[in-house]
Amino acid sequence: MSTFIWLASYPKSGNTWVRAFLSSVKQDGRPIDINKLDIVTQPSSRYLLDDLLGIATADLTMEETLSARPAAMVAYSRMVKGVTMHKVHDAWVRNAEGQPLFPPKLTQASIYIVRDPRDVAVSFAHHLGISIDNAIKRMTTFNSALSQEAIRFTPNTRQPLLTWSQHVESWLDQADPTPLLVRYEDLLTDPVQQGARIARHAGLNRTMDVYEQAAQNTRFSELSKQEAQNGFKETMAPDRRFFRSGKAGGWKDTLTPDQAAQIEQEHGQVMRRLGYL
């Protein structure tokens, strides 16, 4: 029976960058293709769930799909060998039957990537093609979710996000086992040492030379260059860049004082906990 490593984050917090780094580490630090990352399959994937459950999730309600996900993960664990890594944007929540979407008994480890919510708001707005005010609203809405209006042909089923603060607290305070916490800003400051922490937590024990090469080959400028040349299949629209800025503190040049104050008022407690205030 396989076990899982969850690479979890609120959207636009560095998940893809970390996946690229780990994909390179798995190849001993060699360059990677952003459209062929090893860690892609999400537990919310409609195609994965349809295959595992033997039914069309398009015929289920959103709640029924969430109810079926723990059983689907058990079925998946019996089909594959070893430890597999999976990208996750869901909050760490339980379904209507009280079952965790990410069964602790099947969890080898979790890694939770967090980013200053003021920068998240700017990047999230660009990613979804919505206004910053609407992005801020989504980040403060309890029933917020990705694929909220999921239909038959969407690649992913509904992924509960909760508010940004609740998303963070769900993983840090409820997830079992407790995840490794990684701040996006620390990754920017020291990608080799932070990348080594992540890789080792994921069981990818390599030499520091490998981590250094992986960090060099997955620096933001390289990922952005690949997207410009070949596109990126995970972008929401061809006219919106996925690897847009990659900076810390860029919100200072974009958010109005009122927008920044709103985020700080709504999420101040968790921001202070993480060192953002």
| Residue 43 belongs to domain with CATH number | 3.40.50.300
* Residue 100, helix vs strand vs coil: strand
The pLDDT of residue 166 is: 98
List the pLDDT tens digit at each of the 277 positions of the chain.
Answer: 789 999 999 999 989 889 989 999 999 999 887 777 776 678 999 989 999 999 888 888 889 999 999 999 999 999 888 899 999 999 999 999 999 999 999 999 999 999 999 999 998 998 888 999 999 999 999 999 988 765 556 788 999 999 999 999 999 999 999 999 999 999 999 999 999 999 999 999 999 999 999 998 887 777 767 666 665 545 544 555 545 556 789 899 999 999 999 999 999 999 999 999 9
Q: What is the Cα–Cα distance from 172 to 204, expressed in whole angstroms?
A: 22
Residue 77 lies in a domain: yes
Amino acid, res. 266: E
In a domain, 268, yes or no: no
Does a structural domain hold residue 250? no
Domain extent, residue 33, equals: 3-116+146-239
pLDDT at 41: 76
Domain count, the chain: 1
* Residue 69 amino acid letter: R
Could you tell me if residue 275 is inside a domain? no
Residue 3 to residue 117: CA distance in whole angstroms: 31
pLDDT at 234: 54
pLDDT given for residue 219 in this prediction: 79
Q: Residue 22 domain-assigned?
A: yes
Residue 205 lies in a domain: yes
In a domain, 252, yes or no: no
- Rounded CA-CA distance 219/191 in Å is 9
Please give the pLDDT value at position 237: 46
Around Cβ 273, how many Cβ atoms within 10 Å? 15
The per-residue pLDDT for 21 is 92
User: What is the structure's pLDDT at 38?
Assistant: 72
Label residues 152-181 b or e (16+ Cβ within 10 Å = b): eeeebbbbbbbbbbbbbbbbbeebeeebeb
**Model pLDDT, residue 131:** 96
CA distances in angstroms from 121 to 7, 135, 254, listed in the order given: 21, 6, 10
Q: pTM of the prediction?
A: 0.91
What is the model's pLDDT at position 59?
87
Q: What is the pLDDT of residue 202?
A: 95
Considering the domain boundaries, does residue 264 fall inside one? no
Beta strand 159-160 pairing with 145-146 = antiparallel
